Amino acid sequence: MAFLSVKVWRGDELGRYHRFRVPREANQTVLDVVTYIQRRLDATLSYRFACRVGMCGSCAMTVNGVARWTCRTHVAKVAADGHLEIGPLRNLPVIKDLVTDMAEFFDKWARAGGQHAPTATRKDDFARIAPDSRTRQAADAGIECIGCGVCYASCDVVAWNPDYLGPAALNRAWTLVNDVRDGARAERLRAVAGDAGCHACHTHLSCTERCPRHLAPTASIAGLKRVTAVAALRGEL
């Protein structure tokens, strides 16, 4: 029987890695490893998961230095040499072990104008939006975000600039800027521009590289840069 040598972060920001020996299985995911540790070796380990089939994004952690969904990460892919290092997502406060406080992530989502502002009432007819229209395609390209935080954890600018709204919040804002039914365009553009907004992005593309849904927040942010620049030049910002 082969074993994995697994280091798991314990405690808060001032914690340390604990070592475990976990039996190697065929078709084993990193979530399987964490679950084995908690059920068989150390019941005090705290971690999050829900669907375990790559739909909810709850199990996002740092695996060998990279933010990933642990339920969709095969051990064979990331630990061919038998060594695993598992930690909480970066750029977020650590509550305990592998669990982070995601409040700031979602607060920034709200601050970026991440809510749809309706303009129609129940008395109006359905909005007619062609699925192949330019704006709808732009919105659809980023709409599948489930707020897992992997992009936020992977972003250098988030690490360097505590006010930066981050790729997920800006990506969501972009989908709403492209929603023709939305009524809060002016406020949203003001919310996403400037030092804490899209202009802080350095186009490192870590978010796009790591997004488990294969979205491109960098492209959304580039779109916001274009639209806010035009608005600023027109005096609309």
Partner 1 sequence: MSTRTETRLWIAQRASAAILALCVVVHLVVIVYAMRDGLSAETILGRTRGSFGWLAFYAVFVLAAAVHAPIGLRTVLMEWADARGRTLAIVVHAFALAIAVIGLRAVWAVFVG
The answer to whether 228 contacts partner 1 (rule: CB under 8 A) is yes
The answer to whether 197 contacts partner 1 (rule: CB under 8 A) is yes
Nearer to partner 1, 68 or 225 (CB): 225
The answer to whether 194 contacts partner 1 (rule: CB under 8 A) is yes
The answer to whether 195 contacts partner 1 (rule: CB under 8 A) is yes
The answer to whether 88 contacts partner 1 (rule: CB under 8 A) is no
Nearer to partner 1, 146 or 186 (CB): 186
Reported as type and span, the H/E element at residue 114 is none
CA dist., res. 180 & res. 143, Å (int): 14
- Interaction mask 131-170, partner 1, x per CB under 8 A: --------------------------x--xx---------
**Secondary structure of 4-53 in HEC code, one letter for each residue:** EEEEEEECCCCCEEEEEEEECCCCCEHHHHHHHHHHHHCCCCCCCCCCCC
Amino acid at 50: A
Q: Which residues neighbour 136 within 8 Å (Cβ) at sequence distance 6 or greater?
A: 129, 130, 178, 180
Q: Site residues (CB under 8 A) for partner 1?
A: 157, 160-161, 190, 193-195, 197, 199-200, 225, 228-229, 231-233, 237
